[in-house]
Chains A and B, each alone.
Chain A
Amino acid sequence: MSKETESRQREPFARVIKRAEMAAGKIALLRLMAVFLSLIAGGIFIGCVGQNPFVIYGTIISGACRSVMAFQGTVKIMIPLLISSLGITLAFKMKFWNIGAEGQIIFGATCATFFALFCSGWNHVILVIVMFLAGIIGGGIWGLIPAFFKVKYNTNETLFTLMLNYIALHIVSYLRDGPWMDPGSQGFPKIARFDKNASLDKLFGVQFGWLIALILVVVVYVYMKYTKQGYEISVVGESQDTARYAGMNVRKIVLRTMFLSGGICGMAGMIQATGSDITLTSSVAGGVGFTAIIIAWLAQLNPFSILLVSFLFSVLEKGSSVVQSNYGLSTDCADVLQGIILFFILGCEFFVRYQFQFRKNTDRTDKEG
């Protein structure tokens, strides 16, 4: 008896245990609740800085969607986010932690920029196609490098892809300050604005990258769900041994998938540089590659959910800038708000998988015993 009491005392007040698989409807409800709670917490924060939360939330939504022009702006933010999230999804499905989307975006943009700067006289259609290919190959190479070292020497892909980001960034700085510097800029380090011929055409007032992004959503979905290669990716992701046992060439699959993953991110960079920036700057990725990781995971690697989540992110970002100029609320406050919302959604994922078990009441245990 005394031994039993001792063990009960040593038992912690609460324990975390894994829960059985929840019903899909219940999971959805939990997530919805998390969003709702985060809005309340965010509202309290807004109230603390002296603003009316309802007005601010309203402005975020209206600021992103109130007019054709505003909506076009939101779409423009969404294009690189959506495409690079799709790119990352391929690698993540394989459990290859590619956090180098930033670098793949930058290097894809850099390769495309070469043609935009030095072949601007080409036929427009050919030039655009070549720039697309350059972007894909550039990003693909940047994805292939860490994949090669992973399969050959089993290097850590997280660190490898992260470090490649900085190399890509400094390549841009070098080109900007040196060989590609705008000759007319009087010594200011910048790359010239591209010729009109070398920039993407507009469709409904926004560069046509949005159409490509939408097509990619379907393509990536079909690729992952219905093709042999897509199936291989999930098997390698679940267990490399299983894949090997089933006779799959794991090395080849890893290399191929990382080339595609990087290639899609590189295309995002190319579209951003030639469609939105119309020049190459060191901010061409501007954190998109990191935000894309977040989007891909929030969307559970489902391309259609990625479309939705990246749209919501774009609304938040676009709306925040309107809040900044209308209410003088610094964009840093918007960051805090986004942080709060995401904190709650992250927290909710924990409860989807685990639950707390509290220390049982002594009387009850006695009775049970």
Chain B
Amino acid sequence: MKKLLSLLVVGAMTVSLCACGGSAGGSDASSAPAAEGESAAEAEDTAGSDDASGESGQDTASEGVMPAIAKEDIKVGVIHITDPAEGSGYTYTHDLGIQGMQKNIGLDDSQIVRKNNVNDTDATAIENAIRECIEEGCNIIFATSWGFMDTCEALADEFPEVIFSHGTGYKSNGTNFNNYFGRIYQARYLAGIAAGLKTESNKLGYVAAMGQDNSEVTGGVNAFAMGAYSVNPDCEVYVKVTNSWFDPEGETQAAQALVDLGCDVIAQHCDTPNPQTVAEQNGVWGVGYNSDMSKDAPGAVLTSVMWDWSVYYTQAVQSAIDGTWSGENYFGGMADGLVNIADLSDLCAEGTSEAVEAAREQITKEGFNVFDGVIETNDGSTVGEEGGTLSDSDITGNMNWYFKNVVVK
């Protein structure tokens, strides 16, 4: 848009200059300007002004590392990468969590400051958005996208009285900057069971945002593949990588390519519901992600892998109020209610519900952690050891292998 306008300006200038071409000498060639302003990016900057208004100083709880903040003084800042108004997908799901937290704790609307459409590759825009929250008096800030991490780290240093909580990354400082994420792989395992029971071609498709280097995505692929394998050892999982978290066109193409390869269930780890609509158009099935995607593709979606972020947001804000904020990283799972799958649709195969419930029981009650024991990878080696389970740090940072029935396409 801006480019177009600028070109128009240049065009207008050229025309106007031709028009007053006669004037010579040093006089300014006045001209026709046009334009459009900058948008999105916000601005803010300062050095350590004290804005954590609500510090009451009563550090009652023993393990808290930050002073308690009275409930009416709490102000929550949320940095979104897109707009919650999209009504589906990543940002929408996070915002549902914020709304749930607001309801659970009973905060007023004025106690939530949302910054939408913050470009996560533009460090200045991120910093501006966060500083604006701090300026408005926010004392706890949730940054939901991976790319916000480095800026959060730097600002947490500059504003020690403000709590920074960053989703999906790997950095933290133990006091006012923590990291939160969840064992989404547990839910993906259950979704894998539903997919493994449904498939007739024994080929499952998986649209992945990132490749093998990325532990979060790769772990999800593996859990899905292992869930499918547990009920259907003959099936294979075909993975297609888009190399973007949000790429509507690329996700559509990847899903179509997987369908063309013969996959009849399309699972996804990416932000738009497009893979599910592709599945529906081709008369095959799918497994959604983030929000319940059966509303996007009711004729295809078996279930969706879902987050309930309100579980974490409520706990985090409550701990700030109680003065029990520990600064520890959060890695919740199915037992906490943070991750789950949507209600199984009628499209699921016979016996899916029983198999899923049995696995859910194992995960939530019997300590089954999906990546238990010796696991065979698709390059012939093995990971893990008998009787053990992968550590959380291996799951979040070292998952750079694929389960044996995974094929990268």
Residues of A within 8 A of B (CB): 18, 64, 67-70, 72-77, 81, 92, 95, 97, 99, 158, 162, 186-188, 190, 192-193, 202, 205-206, 231, 234-235, 237-239, 242, 272, 276-279, 281-283, 286-288, 290-291, 293-295, 297-298, 300-302, 313-314, 316-318, 320-322, 324-325, 328, 330-332, 334-335, 338-339, 342-343, 345-346, 349-350, 352-353
Contacts and interface: CB of A to CB of B under 8 A. Distances in A.
Q: Size range of the interface on B? A: 35 or more
B39 A73 contact: no
A291 B37 contact: yes
Given A77-B43, A242-B24, A281 B121 contact: yes
21 contacts: A69-B46, A72-B46, A238-B25, A277-B124, A278-B154, A283-B122, A286-B38, A293-B10, A297-B9, A317-B43, A318-B44, A321-B40, A321-B43, A324-B42, A331-B40, A334-B37, A335-B1, A339-B36, A342-B36, A346-B34, A353-B20
Contact of B45 (A73, A235, A242, A320): A73
B121 A321 contact: no
Interface string B131-173: 1111110000000001100100110000000000000001000
B43 A313 contact: no
Contacts of A320: 39
Given A190-B147, A316-B37, A345-B33, A281 B154 contact: no
Contacts of B123: 193, 276-279, 281
Nearest to A204: B47
B61 interface: no
A342 B44 contact: no
A286 B39 contact: no
Contact of B37 (A162, A206, A342, A346): A342
B39 A317 contact: yes
Nearest to B47: A205
B170 A325 contact: no
Contacts of B150: 190, 192-193, 279
B2 A291 contact: yes
B270 to A, nearest CB: 15
Nearest to B35: A294
A239 B186 CA distance: 72
Given A205-B47, A276-B123, A338 B36 contact: yes
Interface in B172-190: none
A18 B23 CA distance: 13
Contacts of A338: 35-37, 39
B367 to A, nearest CB: 27
Interface in B215-265: 215
B298 interface: no
B115 interface: yes
B41 A321 contact: yes
Given A283-B119, A321-B129, A294 B5 contact: yes
B392 interface: no
A188 B243 CA distance: 10
Contact of B9 (A18, A279, A294): A294
A291 B135 contact: no
B132 A321 contact: yes
B389 interface: no
B83 to A, nearest CB: 7
B16 A353 contact: yes
Given A278-B123, A279-B123, A342-B36, A290 B3 contact: yes
Q: Which 3 A-B pairs have the closest CB atoms?
A: A187-B213, A294-B35, A321-B42
Contact of A298 (B19, B33, B121, B129): B33
A186 B213 contact: yes
Contacts of B5: 290, 294
A332 B116 CA distance: 11
Nearest to A74: B43
Best-surrounded residue of A192, A231, A352, A353 (most CB of chain B within 10 A)? A353
A287 B122 CA distance: 12
Contacts of B38: 77, 81, 286-288, 291, 313, 317
A234 B41 CA distance: 36
B43 A76 contact: yes
